[in-house]
Each structure stands twice: as structure tokens, then as C-alpha cells.
């Protein structure tokens, strides 16, 4: 005990770890932050500074009528360190929030290293059980967690709860599907027909789609992703849809686009090919395109997948991805405050929890950090409402969707609690209503979290 308060240990000085450490420290709790850099670097990291942005310098839309913009607005209201750093190092990017990545990382590094309640130790942690025994720990080791620590976490979870590769199909906003062309049906009439949407194709439509798919641009892969995909694509279920298509013209028609058992409601005959979408959540607001894991670029996914009849105006809650990603099968393992269900002193944060994206990782670090601090001070945990993006993400991580396979998720309006009234004027007005409600909830129910005196 230090000054009557338990010390908190944070593993990893990425976005989530820095946010968690800072939120605990400003509340007067002593924090020891372990970071293996510069003694050891992951395959993606090169700078000695903390909170290194390894991909884009863009933090995406800054508009509150977008889900990610709303999440940033919520975190800004609650004094997030990363949001403070973002606006201090902002560069012009239109309606997006982009930063000078070197200044951004340096700003956060200095804030962390200069805080009197934070001690930084440059050392790799390899045993999660040992370090968390009798202590409050936030593990934010990232999607490229070192092998010794990943193995330790795997043992902690019982083995099957930790994944090392994210192969996910795009998720579509149901309200953007043209139901004049799509229809409900499960294959051979088994199960609940509303669990599946079907988009049938004629031969001419299939030809256009097939040629666009095999000629579409793929995302550039980092070396560790290339190696991971070499290892994973031996399994047919993880084959990128564009790679499968290049095996032959009919491969998709006898694979994820087979039309058998899904007769057209108008004729009772099978279509030439059928794209099937599976319900992603119990509310039926999200559907994923079955078998369409991909590493096409995001713009190409929008262009090519909108050639599917019924998806011409599709809005994507999440694009398909295939990349190295160490993450937990969090539903049933983590609580909505990112603590382990049967070990309340152990928290996880960042992409390891199943959130996807820079700001989503920050959000998990924020929630884990304040609740680790509250646990240290003997205070009740704060569980954010599903009416907020912060809470929608944390509840998605702890509960998952209706699918038995948990997939990481970014901020979107498909996981937020539905509005209790109809909003006229289309998607824009509906999303603005979500944002207005969420920010009102933050101001009324959670702004008290700002009532602390930072000792720095």
C-alpha cells in the first residue's frame, strides 16, 4: 500500500496503456508503467516514444454524427489524455482529426514520464499470473503482444480464449440494404429465416462482380501480416474472398456464394449465385457478408461489394480485415469495465480486448484506467451506458453479438442502444439523434469523473 492506496501496474505504453496509466495517476493513485521499448521492439514499432501510431496519422472523422467522432467527443468531455494530445498536435485534414505523429507521441511520452504518480520501467513482462498476484494490473500489451506474454495470457484464459489472427467479413448497416432485391431465408429453410439476408445474382451480375473482385486493389501488408497470412490461409475458412475467386470462375458459386437451398421467392428457382448476409446482433441492425473475409483496401471493398444486388447503397459498420491481431475471446471472460470476471484486480485494455482502432483502444484504456483507480481507492466501479459509444463498445466486448464467433469491433451506431423514438429525415438525422443523446448522458451521468485534482 502506498499512501493508503494500492499501486496499479500497467503493461504497455501504447495508446490504451498510456490512457489507463494517466487516468489512474491523475486520480492520485501510484502507477508503475512497464514498457519493453527501447530494449525490445515489436515488428511494427520503431520509435522509442510512447503511443506510437504505427499506421495512419488520421484518427478518422471529427463529426459527432459519425460513431468515431462521437466517441472522440465523449472522451474529450471526460479529459482523455490522448484527445488532449490530438488537439495539441493537430494538422489540417478536413473533417477528420489528424495529428503530427512524432509530436503526438512526444507529447504523450512527456506527460506520462513527467507525472509524479507514474514510474516508467523499461522491461518486458512475460508472466501475467506472477505480476498480477495480489496487485491491480491493466494489461495493454497490444495486438502484437510479445510471444512470452501472449503464451502466459493464453494459459490464463485456458488456451482457447486467445486468438492471434483477425479474419473478418464486412458488416453492413441493415437499414442501407435494398429489400426490394434482398430477401430473408435460411438455407433449406433451417432455423430462423430472419437470421439471413440473401442477395441473388443473375449470370450477368455475377460476371460484373467477379471481374471487379479479381482485379481489385489489395491493401499493402506488413511483413508480419504476410507471414501470418501464409500460415492462416491453409485453412479454407480463412481464405480471402478475392484469393478464392482467382482459383476459378465457379469457385465462389460452389463456396460462399452457392445459391442452392435459397430459392428465389418470386420463382422458386435457384439464382445463378447468391451472397448471404448473417445477422450480427439480436436487434438485427447489423449483418455480416458470409465468407467475405478480405484484404482489399477499404475503398475497393465499398466499390466492389456495392456491385452486389441489394447492396448498391450499403453502409459499412466495419470493413473486412485479415491481419495479425492478438485478441481475447472476451464475451464471458471480461466485464463491461474490461476486468477479468473471476479476477477483478486484472484488467485488459486496447485491441487485445476486441476493440478495433486507435480511439476505440483509447476508450478501453480510459474505462480500465479509471476503474482500476476506483478499485484501488475502494470506490464503486463505473459502468458506462450502452447509450454512449464508450459504453456500447465495452458492452459489445463483454457480451459479443449473437454469433458464436467473437470478432473485434470498431465504434459504430449498430452496437449503440436503439433510440426509443422514430427519427425522420434519414440516416444523418438518426445519427445526430444518437450523438445528442450520448453527449447528454455523458454530461448528466459521467461528468462527475472530472472531479479530481491532478497532482501534476
Q: Do both 313 and 358 map to the same domain? A: no
358-410 tens-digit pLDDT: 999 999 999 999 999 999 999 999 999 999 999 999 999 999 887 777 888 88
Q: Domain check: are 103 and 138 in the same one?
A: yes
**What is the pLDDT, as a whole number, of residue 408?**
84
For residue 1, is it within any domain?
Answer: no
Q: Domain check: are 209 and 284 in the same one?
A: yes
For residues 303 and 330, state if they share a domain: no
72 in any annotated domain: yes
CATH number, position 199: 2.40.30
Phi, psi of 310 (to 5 degrees): 100, -20
Dig out the grid coordinates for 389 from the structure. Answer: 459509444
Range of the domain at 208: 171-319
Mean residue pLDDT of the chain comes to: 88
Do 27 and 103 sit in the same domain of this protein? yes
Give the count of domains, the chain: 2
C-alpha to C-alpha distance for 108 and 257, rounded to whole angstroms:
48
Determine, yes or no, domain membership for 438: yes
pLDDT score at 2: 37
Q: Do 289 and 369 share a domain, yes or no?
A: no
- pLDDT score at 291: 87
Give the pLDDT mean for 85-112: 92
Q: Pick from 300, 319, 338: which residue ends a domain?
A: 319
Query: What CA–CA distance (Å, rounded) separates 330 from 353?
Result: 6
| Cα distance between residue 338 and residue 318, in whole Å | 22
Amino acid 237: pLDDT = 47
Best mean pLDDT range from 221-225, 277-281, 319-323: 277-281
Final residue before a domain boundary, out of 319, 354, 376: 319
Q: For the residues 289-306, what does the mean pLDDT come to? A: 92
> Which of the two residues, 155 and 388, has the higher pLDDT score?
388
Q: Is residue 255 part of a domain?
A: yes
pLDDT of residue 45: 52
Task: Tell me which of 63-72, 185-194, 248-257 is least confident.
Answer: 185-194
202 and 300 inside one domain: yes
Asked whether residue 63 carries a pLDDT value surpassing 90, the answer given is yes
pTM: 0.81
Q: What is the pLDDT of residue 321?
A: 80
- Does residue 193 share a domain with residue 103? no
187 with 310, same domain: the answer is: yes
User: For the residues 271-283, what does the mean pLDDT come to?
Assistant: 91
Q: pLDDT tens across 186-207, in order? A: 888 887 888 899 999 999 999 9
pLDDT classification of 41: cutoffs 50, 70, 90: low
Q: Tell which wins on pLDDT, 207 or 43.
A: 207
Helix, strand, coil fractions of the chain, as percent rounded to 5: 35, 20, 45
Q: At what angle are helices 298-305 and 203-214 packed, to 10 degrees?
A: 170
Instruction: Grade residue 220 by pLDDT with cuts at 50, 70 and 90.
Output: confident
> Across 135-149, 165-179, 230-244, 293-307, which has the greatest mean pLDDT?
293-307
- Per-residue pLDDT tens for 104-153? 999 999 999 999 999 999 999 999 988 988 899 999 998 778 888 888 98
Residue ending a domain, choose from 319, 342, 358: 319
Cell (9 digits) for 226: 504476410
Q: Rounded to whole angstroms, what are the CA distances from 205 to 108, 146, 264? A: 51, 46, 16
The CA distance from 246 to 193, in Å, is 31
Q: Mean pLDDT across the stretch 67-85?
A: 97
Q: Is residue 385 part of a domain?
A: yes
Do 118 and 191 have their domain in common? Answer: no
How far apart, in whole angstroms, are the C-alpha atoms of residue 91 and residue 98? 6
CA-CA distances (angstroms) from residue 185 to 249, 265, 402?
25, 9, 17
Instruction: Verify that 12 and 161 share a domain, yes or no.
Output: yes
In DSSP notation, 71-91 reads HHHHHHHTT-HHHHHHHHSEE
- Report the CATH number at residue 102: 3.50.50.60
Amino acid at each position: 500500500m502506498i499512501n493508503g492506496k494500492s499501486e496499479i501496474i500497467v503493461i504497455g505504453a501504447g495508446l490504451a496503456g498510456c490512457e489507463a496509466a494517466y487516468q489512474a495517476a491523475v486520480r492520485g493513485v501510484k502507477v508503475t508503467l512497464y514498457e519493453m521499448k527501447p530494449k525490445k521492439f515489436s515488428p511494427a514499432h520503431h520509435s522509442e516514444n510512447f503511443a506510437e501510431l504505427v499506421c495512419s496519422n488520421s484518427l478518422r472523422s471529427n463529426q459527432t454524427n459519425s460513431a468515431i467522432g462521437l466517441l472522440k467527443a465523449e472522451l474529450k468531455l471526460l479529459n482523455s489524455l490522448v484527445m488532449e494530445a490530438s488537439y495539441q498536435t493537430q494538422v489540417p485534414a478536413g473533417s477528420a482529426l489528424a495529428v503530427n505523429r512524432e509530436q503526438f507521441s512526444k507529447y504523450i511520452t512527456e506527460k506520462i514520464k513527467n507525472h509524479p504518480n507514474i514510474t516508467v520501467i523499461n522491461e518486458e513482462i512475460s508472466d501475467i499470473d506472477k505480476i498480477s498476484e495480489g496487485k491491480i494490473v491493466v494489461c495493454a500489451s497490444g495486438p502484437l503482444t510479445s510471444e512470452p506474454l501472449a503464451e502466459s495470457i493464453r494459459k490464463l484464459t485456458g488456451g482457447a480464449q486467445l486468438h492471434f489472427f483477425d479474419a473478418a467479413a464486412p458488416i453492413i448497416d441493415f437499414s442501407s440494404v435494398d429489400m426490394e432485391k434482398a430477401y430473408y431465408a435460411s438455407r433449406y429453410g433451417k432455423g430462423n429465416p430472419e437470421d439471413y439476408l440473401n442477395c441473388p445474382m443473375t449470370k450477368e451480375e455475377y460476371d460484373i462482380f467477379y471481374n471487379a473482385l479479381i482485379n481489385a486493389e489489395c491493401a499493402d501488408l506488413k511483413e508480419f501480416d504476410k507471414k501470418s497470412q501464409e500460415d492462416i490461409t491453409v485453412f479454407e475458412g480463412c481464405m480471402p474472398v478475392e484469393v478464392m475467386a482467382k482459383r476459378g470462375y465457379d469457385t465462389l458459386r460452389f463456396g460462399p456464394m452457392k445459391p442452392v437451398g435459397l430459392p428465389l421467392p418470386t420463382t422458386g428457382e435457384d439464382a445463378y449465385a447468391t451472397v448471404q448476409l448473417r445477422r450480427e446482433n439480436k436487434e438485427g441492425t447489423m449483418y455480416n457478408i458470409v465468407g467475405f473475409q478480405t484484404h482489399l483496401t477499404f475503398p475497393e471493398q465499398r466499390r466492389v461489394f456495392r456491385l452486389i444486388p441489394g447492396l448498391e447503397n450499403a453502409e459499412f459498420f466495419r470493413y473486412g480485415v485479415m491481419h495479425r491481431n492478438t485478441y481475447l475471446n472476451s464475451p464471458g471472460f471480461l466485464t463491461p469495465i474490461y476486468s477479468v470476471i473471476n479476477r477483478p484486480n486484472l484488467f485488459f485494455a486496447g485491441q487485445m480486448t476486441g476493440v478495433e482502432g486507435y480511439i476505440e483502444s483509447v476508450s478501453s484504456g480510459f474505462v480500465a484506467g479509471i476503474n482500476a483507480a476506483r478499485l484501488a481507492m475502494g470506490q464503486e466501479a463505473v459502468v458506462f451506458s450502452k447509450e454512449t459509444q464508450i459504453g456500447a463498445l465495452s458492452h459489445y466486448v463483454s457480451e459479443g453479438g449473437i454469433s458464436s464467433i467473437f470478432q473485434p469491433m470498431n465504434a459504430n451506431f449498430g452496437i449503440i442502444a436503439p433510440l426509443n423514438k422514430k427519427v425522420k429525415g434519414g440516416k444523418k438525422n438518426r445519427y445526430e439523434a444518437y450523438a445528442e443523446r450520448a453527449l447528454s448522458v455523458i454530461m448528466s451521468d459521467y461528468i462527475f469523473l472530472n472531479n479530481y485534482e491532478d497532482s501534476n
